[in-house]
Each structure stands twice: as structure tokens, then as C-alpha cells.
Amino acid sequence: MKIALVHKRLDLNGGTERDLFRTAEGLRDLGHEVHLFCGEFRVAAPLGVTAHRIAALRLGRTAQLLSLALRAPKMIAQAACDIVLSFDRMPDCDVLRCGGGTHRGFLNRLAEEGGTLGRLWQTASAYHRTILALEKRQYQSPRVKRIIAVSAEVKRDIMSNYEISSDRISVLYNGVDVRRFYPEKRTLFGHGVRARWKIPPDAPLVLFVGSGFRRKGLHRLLAAWNAPELARAYLLVVGSDARLGRYRTWADSIAPGRIVFAGRQDQIENYYGAADVVALPSLQEAFGNVVLEALASGLPVVVSRAVGAAEILSGSLAEGIVDRPDDPEEISARLVSLLAKTAVPALGQEARSVAEAYSWERHFHGLDALLREVSESTVGRVS
């Protein structure tokens, strides 16, 4: 098939951008002719994939958003693709991938936290109003034949915010590169990473990975870090945030020297090799690729139920799911419990086994089947 993939940006930073890049590679490897339509290319398209730059306006993010939504369909129509898969808010597509939940649901959660001022800001924001208008049009478009939700939680979010029947939404979990993330990284690189950041080789180490610290729940971890049971434990934070200085100051007041900020790291797989447990107590996380990367590395995870990937945890691994993530005592208790079990080989084996069931190869075969089904239903369509 000749497949169009659409998003505002191609990049290797950001979860959706990385997923877009991998999807282009995966569909190409399955023999499809893949065309990428993006407003911006921060990295080159994968080899064998055709890139089309959409000339979006650069007069602020609202104008850029609107121009992308208006111009992309015209460019794609000229390419005469068999099927259009959108990773962004573009109504004229056959399949819509919802990788982050609805914007309406996101704003509702922010309003609950921000109170009256937060609601006023959202109401006055032209940017948010534009996203909501495009989102509504997209979910109501008769052309959209199937919606891909990256978790059952995202599916519930879509159905609760828009009148869409369950059978139009397919849950397709993200995948993980099981050849890049694997348990033997501990032996190969774990000691080197600890030495670089002056973390004792025998200290319990919890890893946090992500940018946008508040949404990812770093403040929840910090609030739990002064628990007596974690007195020897280190927290290694990989990622960035505009308020990094504030987090550093707070961390130093809680556990001087035991909370380390490493910034962005390209070889993140080596950092999993240094850790004992990975924590992601997010406020909102449609899926959470970090969870699969940790499991593939043989590590248990502590996650809030707001993390979509929590749905795939079962058995001993389900002990890491936090029901009350704003309760520091529950977070610390979950961390202490899993840290005590990391010496048990069966736990790491269980984690790896779960990850292997969610490889990118399996994901792309599932996506391929879905796209073929939709393509057959759109044969003879008048664009």
C-alpha cells in the first residue's frame, strides 16, 4: 500500500515524534510505500521513506497549527495515497492515532488542579480553543474510519469526551526495541553509569526518565524521598524541564547528594542498566514507553494508575501500581517493596517476558492488519 503518515514534526525527541519515525520504518520494512508529511523535519526521514514538507505559517503556534491542518490534506491528496494515518489533529484522514489522550480531557484535568484561574486561562487561550475545535471536527469527521488508542485508558478518555462508539476505537499498545533494551546492560554499562554520577555501586537506585517533570510526577517522587526506609536509596533523574533549578533546590533540601539530575541522555538504555527500579508516578500518561523500556531491561516499575502502560502489569509486577500517587507514604512503600525484591531473578525474568510480548515487530504487524482492513473499506472512495 501507499501510506501517508502525518504529524507536525519529525524528530527523535518526544514520544509521539519517535513513534512516528519508528512507524515509518516499520511499515517500510513490511513492504509498504511510505510518505511522511510534516511541517518540520528536525531529522532526516528514514531511508526509503519519501518526505514532504508542509509549508505551515511561522506566525505563532496557533497560526502554525491551523495552517498545517488546512494545507496538509491538499498535499496528501496530490500524492494519491491509499490510506492516510494521522498522528496529529487533522480531520481529513482515514485512521487517527491518539497517542496522548484527548485535549479536552487534558484541559479538564488541568482545570481541576488550577482552579478558577486555570479555567479562565484555558477559556481565553486562542491556542487551546483552536486545538479543541480541530479535535472536535476530527472526531466527528465521517472520513475517519478507525481511531487507534495506545491504551484502554485513552479509549475511555475518547469515549467520555466525544460520542464515538467503542467499535470505532482499536487499542494498540506501543512497542519496545527488545534488542536495544535488555537485562545484560547491567553488566556491560551499569557500573560505569553509577561511577560517572558518583552513585555507590551497592546503593539502591531508582531511575526516573522523562521531560516535563510535573506531568511525569517527579514532585510526587521527591515528596516521598525523605522516608526513613529510603535513607540509603539514590534517585537518578534523566530528562529536562524549564524549572530544573527549582527541582534541584528542592532535591538538595530533601536528600543532599542522593538525588542526581543527569539531563538528557542519548544512550538511555545504559541508564536502565544502572538502576534497580524505574518510577513514573505521572499525573497523566497515555501510555508511557518508559515502562516497556524498563521491563525489557529486566526492571520492575512503580507507576500511577494514570499511566496507560500500567494496564499490562500483572502478577508480581502489579505490586508497583500506585493507587494514591499523591500519598508519599504509598509511593515510598511501593519503592521499598520492589527494591527488596530486585535480587530475586524471577522478578527480572517476569519483566523481560512481558516486554517481549510487546515488541515493535508485533506492533507493526498489528498496525499493518488494521490499515489493510480500513483500506479495503475505503476502496472506491471519492476524495
Cβ-Cβ contacts under 8 Å for 140 (sequence gap 6 or more): 162
- The two most distant CA atoms of the chain are separated, in Å, by 67
Average pLDDT over residues 293-312: 95
CA 325, distance to chain mean position in Å, is 19
The 10s digit of each residue's pLDDT in 98-107 is: 988 888 887 7
pLDDT at 119: 58
- Gap between the Cα atoms of 13 and 16, Å rounded: 9
Q: Name the CATH architecture for the domain at 185-356.
A: 3-Layer(aba) Sandwich (3.40)
Instruction: Print burial letters for 121-159: b (CB count within 10 Å at least 16), e (below 16).
Output: ebeeeeebebbbebbbebbeeeebbbbbbbbebbbebbb
pLDDT at 174: 93
Percent of the chain with pLDDT over 90: 71
**Helix or strand (DSSP H, E) at 149:** strand 146-149
pLDDT at 383: 45
Average pLDDT over residues 211-227: 93
Confidence of residue 124 (pLDDT cuts 50, 70, 90): low
Work out whether the CA dihedral 13, 14, 18, 21 comes out positive or negative: negative
Three-state SS at 288: coil
pTM (2 d.p.): 0.87
189 CB neighbour count, 10 Å cutoff:
17
Work out whether the CA dihedral 195, 197, 199, 205 comes out positive or negative: negative
Domain residue extents for the chain: 2-175+360-377, 185-356
Judged by phi (left if over 0) then psi (alpha if -120 to 50, else beta), residue 345 lies in alpha
| Cell 530533601, located at residue | 254
The C-alpha cell at 197 is 554520577
Percent of the chain with pLDDT over 70: 95
Three-state SS at 9: strand
The strand pair at 205-209 and 234-238 is best described as parallel
Instruction: Print burial letters for 24-56: b (CB count within 10 Å at least 16), e (below 16).
Output: bbbbbebebebbbbbbbeeeebbeebeebebeb
Is a pLDDT exceeding 50 seen at residue 382? no
Judged by phi (left if over 0) then psi (alpha if -120 to 50, else beta), residue 2 lies in beta
Output 18-21 pairs: Cβ under 8 A, ≥24 positions apart: 18/289, 19/87, 19/99, 19/174, 19/289, 20/87, 21/46
336 CB neighbour count, 10 Å cutoff:
17
Residues 308, 320 contacting (CB under 8 angstroms): no
Out of 58-67, 98-107, 188-197, the most confident range is: 188-197
Q: Name the CATH architecture for the domain at 2-175+360-377.
A: 3-Layer(aba) Sandwich (3.40)
pLDDT at 104: 86
Residues 202, 171 contacting (CB under 8 angstroms): no
The 10s digit of each residue's pLDDT in 171-188 is: 999 999 999 999 999 999
Confidence of residue 114 (pLDDT cuts 50, 70, 90): low
Mean pLDDT of the chain: 90
Average pLDDT over residues 269-291: 94
- Gap between the Cα atoms of 169 and 206, Å rounded: 36
**Helix or strand (DSSP H, E) at 346:** helix 345-356
Average pLDDT over residues 18-25: 94
pLDDT at 90: 79
Same fold: 2-175+360-377 with 185-356: yes
Rg (CA), the chain: 21
Average pLDDT over residues 51-80: 84
Judged by phi (left if over 0) then psi (alpha if -120 to 50, else beta), residue 74 lies in alpha
The 10s digit of each residue's pLDDT in 134-169 is: 888 888 888 899 999 999 999 999 999 998 999 999
